[in-house]
């Protein structure tokens, strides 16, 4: 039996961060990862391939809009084989860099699946047995397939398949209206597919505000995506030339057909095969590994980080959770838990949608008094000259001292603009602090001064 200070099960974003941190603390660390290809979800089949493809189709979209700006760009179209090669090359470089880190010798790497045999012992699929004082579960998530009649029997794509396309599908039905569905539906539409998106809740992106979702919905409709929200999917079936989806909406039964089907109905924690029962690790009702604010599970020497415990499948959180778990496990002093009121989320649609800190719904639910102010992109100089007028910026502040509480931005470059506020929110800045800062003209960032000034006026 091999023994270590820390065994990390799953070498993705959370696991790699924990292994690196513990090894820097001088601990003996092993990482077990059973994947055929190392790198983790974000690099191989998540953030990086999706953003590589979305950037390419954003460039394509701008080229097609050239006429608006008096530019003559006679043809702009995708070469899917070339785009696929560019994606493969880019992702290969990111993955190679991660593999170098994993194989750097700072820790022992086992290319095997792990299974608990007791609270401090694990058996690997290559037959190795490992004992460790501390263990981190960071096994990520997998695509879920809800029990929709016919779905399991009908050939369908997951995000893995869409991210690996090397041809333009003629038509696609997208099931779901979450982040994966929205980001990739727009990608498919922009490469030239006829896209029909079928979503259960009344709005896309149900975790976000209705008004922000409405902006994304409008942009999608303007680009020709057929949206069906507020539906119940009744049956999925195979047809002679593809697939069909039968669903009800407003009491009516509708059927839509397409050449391909894309299941974007969510992901679930990857705990199967881990045999967590042998270690006494408890799961939540949703099947995630239950953790406290230090990432400790129901067995205090076993930690969890990343998608397997959540509560959000966001990569910077997975990294922070892995680092926090490693530091806590080895007694680093003056640690702070991850602050849930500093939550940052970004949806990389065009326009993108970004939220930071507390949002209106949560402020109301928690009876936190607040002032809010918003400003639309269609009245801001820089976005008007860019012809990027969808959406708005909205800020929330406390009504006593004007302390920033949260922000919502849906509009051009929201993914970057929100970062004007992450530092100030973390440092507990007020609207007055932010108004003392210089804001260059004409920039997109400058749009934030309007709601800041409005809140300052309301305060005085």
Ligand X SMILES: Cc1cc2nc3c(=O)[nH]c(=O)nc-3n(C[C@H](O)[C@H](O)[C@H](O)COP(=O)(O)OP(=O)(O)OC[C@H]3O[C@@H](n4cnc5c(N)ncnc54)[C@H](O)[C@@H]3O)c2cc1C
Ligand Y SMILES: NC(=O)c1ccc[n+]([C@@H]2O[C@H](COP(=O)([O-])OP(=O)(O)OC[C@H]3O[C@@H](n4cnc5c(N)ncnc54)[C@H](O)[C@@H]3O)[C@@H](O)[C@H]2O)c1
State the nearest-atom distance from the C-beta of 313 to ligand Y, in Å. 3
From 55, 301, 312, 441, active-site residue: 441
Q: Which does 199 bind (CB under 5 to 8 A by kind): ligand X, ligand Y, none?
A: ligand Y
On whether the CB atoms of residues 290 and 282 are closer than 8 A, the answer is yes
Is 162 or 431 the residue whose CB approaches ligand X more closely? Answer: 162
Q: Which token pair is 10?
A: 């799953």
Residue with the two structure tokens 């799961």: 283
What does each C-alpha distance from 303 to 3, 30, 136, 298, 418 come to in angstroms?
17, 15, 5, 9, 31
Residue nearest to ligand Y (CB): 178
State the nearest-atom distance from the C-beta of 162 to ligand X, in Å. 8
List, in order, residues 6 or more apart from 411 with CB less than 8 Å away: 215, 351, 352, 377, 383, 388, 390, 391, 392, 393, 417
183 is in an annotated binding site: yes
57 is in an annotated binding site: no
Distance CA 430, CA 456 (A): 9
State the nearest-atom distance from the C-beta of 22 to ligand X, in Å. 15
112 is in an annotated binding site: no
Is 10 or 391 the residue whose CB approaches ligand X more closely? Answer: 10
13 is in an annotated binding site: no
List, in order, residues 6 or more apart from 219 with CB less than 8 Å away: 349, 350, 351, 390
Is 85 or 316 the residue whose CB approaches ligand Y more closely? Answer: 316
Distance CA 290, CA 112 (A): 24
Is 161 or 365 the residue whose CB approaches ligand X more closely? Answer: 161
Q: Which does 177 bind (CB under 5 to 8 A by kind): ligand X, ligand Y, none?
A: ligand Y
On whether the CB atoms of residues 33 and 111 are closer than 8 A, the answer is yes
Q: Which does 456 bind (CB under 5 to 8 A by kind): ligand X, ligand Y, none?
A: none
> Which stretches of the chain bind ligand X, using CB under 6 A?
9-15, 32-35, 40-42, 46-47, 50-51, 113-114, 138-140, 159, 180, 270, 273-274, 306-308, 313-316, 318, 348
Is 113 or 380 the residue whose CB approaches ligand X more closely? Answer: 113
Q: Which token pair is 79?
A: 């070469």
> Which stretches of the chain bind ligand Y, using CB under 6 A?
146, 148, 176-181, 183, 199-201, 206, 233, 264-267, 312-314, 346-348
Q: Which does 91 bind (CB under 5 to 8 A by kind): ligand Y, ligand X, none?
A: none
How does DSSP assign 39-54, residue by residue? SHHHHHHSHHHHHHHH
State the nearest-atom distance from the C-beta of 46 to ligand Y, in Å. 7
Distance CA 317, CA 415 (A): 16
Q: Which does 178 bind (CB under 5 to 8 A by kind): ligand Y, ligand X, none?
A: ligand Y
Q: Is 441 a catalytic residue?
A: yes
Q: Which token pair is 297?
A: 């599970």
**Cis bond before residue 168 (omega within 30° of 0):** no
Assign residue 123 a region (left: φ > 0; alpha: ψ between -120 and 50; beta: otherwise).
beta
State the nearest-atom distance from the C-beta of 141 to ligand X, in Å. 6
Q: Residues at the annotated binding site for FAD? A: 51, 139-141, 307
Q: Residues at the annotated binding site for NAD(+)? A: 176-183, 266
Report, as residue numbers or ranges, the catalytic residues.
Answer: 441
């Amino acid at each position: 039996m091999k023994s270590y200070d820390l065994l990390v099960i799953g070498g993705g974003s959370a696991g790699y961060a924990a292994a690196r941190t513990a090894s820097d603390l001088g601990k003996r660390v092993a990482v077990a990862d059973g994947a055929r290809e190392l790198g983790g979800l974000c690099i191989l089949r998540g953030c990086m391939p999706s953003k590589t493809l979305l950037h390419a189709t954003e460039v394509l979209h701008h080229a097609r809009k050239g006429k608006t700006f008096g530019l003559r760009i006679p043809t702009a179209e995708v070469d899917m084989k070339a785009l696929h090669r560019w994606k493969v090359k880019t992702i290969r470089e990111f993955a190679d860099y991660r593999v170098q880190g994993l194989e750097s010798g700072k820790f022992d790497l086992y290319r095997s699946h792990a299974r608990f045999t007791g609270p401090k012992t694990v058996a690997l699929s290559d037959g190795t047995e490992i004992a460790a004082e501390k263990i981190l579960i960071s096994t990520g998530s997998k695509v879920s397939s809800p029990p929709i009649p016919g779905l399991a029997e009908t050939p369908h794509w997951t995000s893995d398949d869409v991210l690996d396309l090397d041809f333009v599908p003629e038509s696609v039905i997208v099931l779901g209206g979450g982040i994966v569905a929205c980001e990739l539906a727009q990608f498919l539409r922009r490469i030239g597919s006829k896209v029909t998106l079928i979503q259960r809740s009344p709005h896309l992106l149900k975790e976000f505000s209705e008004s922000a979702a409405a902006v994304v919905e409008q942009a999608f409709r303007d680009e020709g995506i057929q949206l069906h929200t507020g539906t119940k999917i009744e049956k999925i079936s195979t047809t002679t030339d593809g697939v069909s989806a039968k669903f009800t909406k407003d009491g009516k039964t509708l059927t839509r057909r397409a050449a391909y089907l894309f299941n974007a109905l969510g992901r679930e924690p990857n705990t199967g095969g881990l045999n967590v029962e042998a270690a006494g690790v408890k799961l939540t009702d949703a099947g995630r590994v239950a953790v406290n604010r230090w990432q400790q599970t129901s067995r205090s020497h076993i930690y969890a980080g990343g998608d397997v415990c959540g509560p959000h499948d966001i990569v910077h959180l997975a990294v922070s959770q892995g680092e926090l778990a490693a530091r806590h496990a080895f007694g680093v002093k003056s640690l702070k838990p991850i602050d849930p009121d500093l939550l940052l989320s970004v949806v990389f649609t065009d326009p993108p949608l970004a939220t930071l800190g507390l949002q209106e719904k949560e402020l109301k639910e928690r009876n936190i008094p607040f002032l809010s102010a918003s400003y639309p992109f269609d009245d801001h100089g820089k976005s008007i000259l860019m012809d990027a007028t969808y959406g708005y910026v909205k800020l929330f502040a406390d009504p006593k001292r004007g302390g920033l509480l949260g922000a919502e931005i849906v509009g051009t470059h929201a993914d970057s603009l929100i970062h004007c506020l992450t530092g100030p929110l973390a440092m507990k800045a007020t609207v007055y602090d932010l108004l003392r800062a210089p804001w260059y003209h004409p920039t997109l960032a400058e749009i934030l001064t309007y709601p800041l000034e409005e809140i300052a006026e309301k305060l005085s």
